[in-house]
């Protein structure tokens, strides 16, 4: 259930956004990804053992990631939904938990056999719901949301938290040749 302050989110199925990118506004704003099987993903990556808070739920899906688009939500969402790991932190995190923990494959969700960007796009299409909010201050609003709600797959602003450090390490293991990521790798013990 969403709190009152988020009841105005425009909720759109990922499949709709992939079919019709114009369903998202050409405005700056924030977006929240809600995923089917989100709790299973979190359990398979030991999120709750790291002391993680329970995420919000919308239409039976769990909120796992919050992002901001400085210029256009439409373009930013397409990069995320097309599983472009060169520009999507969210997709790098998803592929990392699959690579290291087989979290998506074991989730029991539709199209859960994820091996790379193309199959991740298909999985997102079947399992993601996106909440959209246009705002003139997307990074300020993103910061507010990250401070207020669990958003397990966000690393920024949470680097000191154990689960974020583990997720960062898994991303480094999954993408060892990704030089910009290597510079941000955190040794997790």
Phi then psi for 110, rounded to 5 degrees?
-65, 140
Q: What is the pLDDT of residues 82-126, one digit of tens each?
A: 877 777 788 889 999 999 999 998 888 888 888 888 899 999 999
Tell me how far apart the alpha carbons of residues 116 and 98 are, in angstroms, rounded to a whole number. 9
97 located within any domain: yes
What DSSP assignment string belongs to 6-65? GTT-EEEEHHHHHH-GGGS-SS-EEEEEEETTHHHHHHHTTTGGGTPPPPPEETTEEEEE
Residue 63 parent element (H or E): strand 61-69
Q: Determine contact, residues 104/97, Cβ cutoff 8 Å.
A: yes
pLDDT for the residue numbered 116: 85
Tokens encoding 172: 């480094």
104 located within any domain: yes
Is pLDDT larger for residue 128 or for residue 108?
A: 128
pLDDT for the residue numbered 179: 44
**For the chain, what is the mean pLDDT?**
90
188 located within any domain: no
Query: Which alpha helices (H) appear in 30-86, and where do they start and end?
Result: 38-44, 73-81
Tokens encoding 46: 């030991």
Q: What angle do CA 79, 29, 163 make, to 5 degrees?
A: 65
pLDDT for the residue numbered 177: 67
Query: What's the total number of domains in the chain?
Result: 1
Is pLDDT larger for residue 68 or for residue 79?
A: 68
189 located within any domain: no
9 located within any domain: yes
92 located within any domain: yes
- The DSSP symbol for 160 reads T
**pLDDT for 184 beyond 60:** no
Count H helices and E strands in the chain, helices first: 8, 5
pLDDT for the residue numbered 73: 97
Q: Determine contact, residues 126/37, Cβ cutoff 8 Å.
A: no
**pLDDT for 174 beyond 90:** no
Give residue 37's domain range: 4-183
pLDDT category of residue 178 using cuts at 50, 70 and 90: low
Length of the chain in terms of residues written: 189
Q: What is the pLDDT of residues 13-46, one digit of tens each?
A: 999 999 999 999 999 999 999 999 999 999 999 9
Tokens encoding 97: 């938990």
130 located within any domain: yes
């Amino acid at each position: 259930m969403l709190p009152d302050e988020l009841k105005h989110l425009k909720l759109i199925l990922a499949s709709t956004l992939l079919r019709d990118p114009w369903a998202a506004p050409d405005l700056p704003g924030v977006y929240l990804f809600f995923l089917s099987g989100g709790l299973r993903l979190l359990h398979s990556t030991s999120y709750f053992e790291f002391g993680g808070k329970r995420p919000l739920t919308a239409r039976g899906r769990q909120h796992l990631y919050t992002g901001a688009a400085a210029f256009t939500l439409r373009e930013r969402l397409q990069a995320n939904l097309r599983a472009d790991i060169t520009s999507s932190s969210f997709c790098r995190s998803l592929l990392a938990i699959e690579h290291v923990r087989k979290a998506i494959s074991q989730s029991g969700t539709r199209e859960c056999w994820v091996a790379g960007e193309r199959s991740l796009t298909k999985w997102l299409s079947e399992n993601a719901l996106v909440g959209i909010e246009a705002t003139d201050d997307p990074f300020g609003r993103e910061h507010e949301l990250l401070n207020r709600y669990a958003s397990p797959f966000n690393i920024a602003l949470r680097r000191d938290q154990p689960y974020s450090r583990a997720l960062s390490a898994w991303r480094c293991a999954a993408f060892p040749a990704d030089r910009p990521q290597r510079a941000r790798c955190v040794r997790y013990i």
